[in-house]
Amino acid sequence: MFKEDYRKEMDAVKLNERQKERLTALLTAQPVRRARRIGRTALAAAVACALLAATAAAYALGAFDYLTGQDEFLSLGQTELYRQVAREVGVSVTADNGDRLSVERVAMDDTFGTIFYSVHFEEALPELEWSDSWLLYPTLTLYTEDGEQLSEEGFRGSFEEQAYVADEHTVYGAWRFLLRRPVADGETLFLRSERYSDQPSEGRLYTRLWALELSFPAQITGEKSRRFDLDGSIEAWIKDGMREVEVLSLTRSPMGTLLKLRYARGTGTGLGPEFILRDADTGANIPYAPVHTSHWNDPEGYEEQLYELFGDVSKLKNLEIVPTERVTPDTPDRIVALEDLPAADSGNPDGGYAPASYRAEDGKLVVEMKPVGAVNSIYADLGNGVYFRDANGEQLFRDCVVKVEKFKDRTDGTITVVTIPKAADYEAYADQVAAIEFIVVGYRVLEGSGVRVPLQPCAD
């Protein structure tokens, strides 16, 4: 009976292989002693201690160490950066029900911020399908002492969400956001957090379980951001037609590079301007993706759009921005057998994304899509773009509900597409995957219609 209970408890400790190796090292890191016989009582006590140590070690890993063992976090390409710039904070607050929110580390320059946090729950978390997993994670908002909201966008808004159930009592996460203004080193910041249940309350769809607030001093990385004024414009397709797009600025900070464009607000709906980016001096293509923010601070009649640039642009002196126009591709999608990976053909002559690798593990189907040639932002902004076929060419998971997450590598623009079916569907079909099907985004680069923009350091 004890053995079965122990097995269940150990199965509840959800660690990946890296963390299991580390945990094993923690539990076995002691002087070697001569083996001796022990009685049943001592054996039971030893097993109980090992169980407690395992759970404690999972919690003791901390948010940063736990996340650096997760493939999704590693696929962002910022692990080494955070090792250098994330500062230990170590502040906590406890809700009335015993749940404890902790801010463990914070990485912040004068453009970006990332908060590594944990939530330790007094009661064991329920096992939920991914469609309800949001109930396990808190929302976060950053404020100043005067109540000024510092985070540019809402939680789970602009960047890839990072939140994981480490064990039945612990959630680890990292929240990356844009700052509305630079923060002074040592300035007191306030983090507000809320958690909800799906039970209706007082005419609302959800019930707020708790609202917490804690404060910590900002610790800014040593290197400041550099903002460059840009002076140029292109004619690009936006939503409902061709419109002038002004190239306003480029901000290069230790934690990322942002390009800001502006265009007149139209009546259509859809994506923003479509274009490719190059280093005007070397001809190297620059992958990028839109940063989705609210537009309540935009100038009247205009929209200002931000884009995050990927790859090493530290030596960029002249930026070339060239509009693209959509064309009908030869085929709307391509199918690549697993044995033919990595593929180098995006299906669009001017550029796009092609599958480089595939793996199925831990209930997830993971495909790495590499940028090929000149890429615009259409594929990065698609909700999905990757599907799966069996050896007979039949599409798998066709009638299944799946969750799709995309993680963009800041070092080279690779997009990791993670497809998460429900557990039963994964068990039924994952072993049958024989080929990757991906959407071909058809566009043509309008060479000769672009603009070369020198980076002029901003006077301020």
Report pLDDT digits (tens) over 254-278. 899 999 999 988 755 556 789 999 9
Residue 108 pLDDT > 80, yes or no? yes
Q: What is the DSSP string of 332-368?
A: SEEEEEGGGPSP---SSTTEEEEEEEEEEETTEEEEE
CA dist., res. 113 & res. 457, Å (int): 23
pLDDT the model gives residue 19: 44
Q: Is 80 exceeded by the pLDDT of residue 40?
A: no
Which residue do the tokens 């070092």 mark?
A: 411
* pLDDT of residue 191 exceeding 90: yes
State the DSSP H helix or E strand holding residue 219, giving kind and residue range, or none if neither.
Answer: none
Q: Which of 154, 177, 60 is nearest to 107 (CA)?
A: 177
Cα 274 versus chain centre, distance: 23
Would you say residue 29 has pLDDT above 50? no
At 21 the pLDDT is: 44
Mean pLDDT, residues 105-119 taken together: 94
Q: Is residue 342 reached through a cis peptide bond, with omega within 30 degrees of 0 on the bond before it?
A: yes
Q: Which own/partner contact pairs does 350-353 have at CB distance under 8 Å and 24+ positions apart?
A: 350/324, 350/374, 350/443, 350/444, 350/445, 351/276, 351/285, 351/375, 351/376, 351/445, 352/379, 352/440, 352/441, 353/379, 353/385, 353/415, 353/438, 353/441
Higher-pLDDT residue of 378 and 1 is 378
Out of 301-305, 350-354, 357-361, least confident range: 301-305
pLDDT of residue 154: 57
Higher pLDDT, 36 or 409: 409
Asked whether the predicted pLDDT for residue 87 surpasses 90, the reply is: yes
Are the C-beta atoms of 325 and 237 separated by less than 8 Å?
A: yes
Token pair listed for 125: 């978390």
pLDDT at 74 over 50: yes
Q: Count of alpha carbons within 13 Å of 381, Cβ hemisphere only?
A: 17
3-state percent breakdown (helix, strand, coil) of the chain, nearest 5 = 20, 40, 40
Question: Quick one: pLDDT at residue 203?
Answer: 64
How confident is the model over 9-17, as a mean pLDDT? 44
Looking at the DSSP bridge assignments, the partners of residue 355 are 369
Q: What would the two tokens of residue 444 be?
A: 């043509």
pTM of the complete model beyond 0.85: no
Helix spans in 178-281 (H): none
Average pLDDT over residues 432-455: 96
Distance of alpha carbon 263 from alpha carbon 217, whole angstroms: 37
Q: What is the pLDDT of residues 137-177, one digit of tens each?
A: 888 999 999 999 998 765 556 688 888 999 999 999 999 99
DSSP-assigned letter for residue 412: T
Q: Where are the beta strands (DSSP E) in 54-151?
A: 87-94, 100-108, 112-120, 139-144
The answer to whether the beta carbons of residues 172 and 164 sit under 8 Å apart is yes
- Sorting pLDDT into bands at 50, 70 and 90, what band is 30? very low
pLDDT above 70: percentage of residues in the chain: 81
Q: Which is more confident, 446 or 19?
A: 446
- Tell me: pLDDT of 299 over 50: yes
Q: How confident is the model at residue 14 (pLDDT cuts 50, 70, 90)?
A: very low
Task: List, for residues 209-249, the tens digit of each pLDDT value.
Answer: 899 999 999 989 878 889 999 999 999 988 777 889 999 99
Mean pLDDT of 104-120: 94
pLDDT above 80: residue 46 = no
What is the arithmetic mean of pLDDT over 358-370? 97
pLDDT over threshold 80, residue 133:
no
Average pLDDT, the chain: 84
